[in-house]
A = this chain, B = another copy of it.
Amino acid sequence: MQALRQIEVSNAIRAARPDAVKAPAAANSGRSALADAVRLMGAAITYGRNEEVYGEDEPAEFVYMVTRGAIRTYKLLADGRRQIAAFRLSGDIFGLEVGDSHVFTAEAIADSEVIVAKRSAIMAIAARDGAVARDMWAATARDLVRAHDLMLLLGRKSAQERVATFLLEMADRVADGTMIDLPMSRHDIADYLGLTIETVSRTLSQMEHAATIALPTCRRIELRNRSVLSRLNS
């Protein structure tokens, strides 16, 4: 039954993007019943840079888990202004919806691999397995906590504070010690922090001049004085 479903999923995806289906990469170590269910029921798909995973208002047919690369989820206004709600990195689950359609667009920031599982299959498992149902709720609640933190940032923090918060967040999530390799462009950072690319760039330059950070390349940031950043993080 589960094997059958998995084949169905693979076929559905293969029909749409026949070249992209591969064996899943080495399973990421996110230990949750939901992650296990997605891995069990899902197929790995790769997405190229800037490729759309799904669009806002599209039917929510699949659930996704990042295994490599990075995904941005965002909303647009009619005139193109964009607010990125989250960066999804390796291990993150996204696209879980209670309603039947997606509430934002998801795109690959860099070449990425994502495990895709049929939403109906995951929901069926959740109906039987309370641990999976709970994990679905927990994943949504975790997103909500992050959303609240971002709301506080967007509504009330200065440009410096926003960038400091972003750097500390990324250090937590992707840093190898104090060296951060950013998967995303200045444009993405700006649209996440509610700023412009110029302000992001200027603020990073200021921090470099103040020796708070170093910028070996524009995608590589070294934190040299974390306490300054923490103070700005409030």
Residues of A within 8 A of B (CB): 75, 77-79, 81-83, 85, 96-99, 103-104, 127, 130, 133-134, 136-138, 140-145, 147-152, 154-157, 191, 193-194, 234
Contacts and interface: CB of A to CB of B under 8 A. Distances in A.
A83 B144 contact: no
Contacts of A142: 98
Contacts of A98: 137-138, 141-142
B152 A151 contact: no
Given A79-B234, A83-B155, A154-B155, 6 more contacts: A77-B152, A81-B156, A81-B157, A83-B152, A98-B137, A133-B137
Nearest to A156: B81
**Secondary structure of the A contact surface, majority rule:** helix
Contact of A145 (B81, B103, B145, B193): B103
A148 B76 CA distance: 11
A103 B234 contact: no
Nearest to A73: B148
A143 B142 CA distance: 12
A156 B234 contact: no
**Shortest Cβ-Cβ A-B pairs, 3 listed:** A155-B194, A154-B154, A147-B147
A82 B77 CA distance: 25
Contacts of A234: 77-79
24 contacts: A75-B148, A77-B152, A77-B157, A77-B234, A81-B156, A96-B141, A98-B137, A98-B138, A103-B145, A103-B148, A104-B148, A127-B130, A130-B130, A137-B137, A140-B140, A143-B144, A144-B147, A147-B148, A151-B154, A154-B155, A154-B194, A155-B191, A155-B194, A156-B194
